[in-house]
Amino acid sequence: MDNVIALANLFGQDKDGRRFPIKVEIGSPYQSADDPETWRCPVNIDPLYSHLRDIAGADGFQALCLASRLAISLLRGYVEDGGRLLHDDGTEFSLDSYVPKEAQ
């Protein structure tokens, strides 16, 4: 991904206990070439979701917020399906600090 503006490196652990690196990337929002009223923001969660479409919004800020929200939602879904998110040292990686309490 070009123009990465936010990056998180963590580890996933699948239901069988296999551990693997996960890279979460959010790219810079850009104005759509097809529709100047629309902004898009790339998001990538490799290797879980590495071919996501760029997220559309009414402006760059909205596209960025929606892309971040999608990344968090997909990672939560991975955990709900039995996966784990971990720091490099093996401790749990919590998504709670990435979302304000009133938005959870």
For residue range 10-67, list pLDDT tens digits in order.
999 999 999 999 999 999 999 998 898 999 999 999 999 988 999 999 999 999 999 9
**Whether the predicted pLDDT of 76 surpasses 80:** yes
What value does the mean pLDDT take over residues 6-12?
97
Is 39 inside a domain boundary? yes
Q: What pLDDT does residue 57 have?
A: 96
Total domains in the fold of the chain:
1
Return the ∠ at Cα 18 (arms to 6 and 51), rounded to 5°. Answer: 40
Is 66 inside a domain boundary? yes
Chain-centroid distance, C-alpha 18:
21
**Whether the predicted pLDDT of 74 surpasses 90:** yes
Is 95 inside a domain boundary? no
Is 76 inside a domain boundary? yes
Is 81 inside a domain boundary? yes
Q: What pLDDT does residue 36 have?
A: 87
Q: State which residues form the domain around 20.
A: 4-85
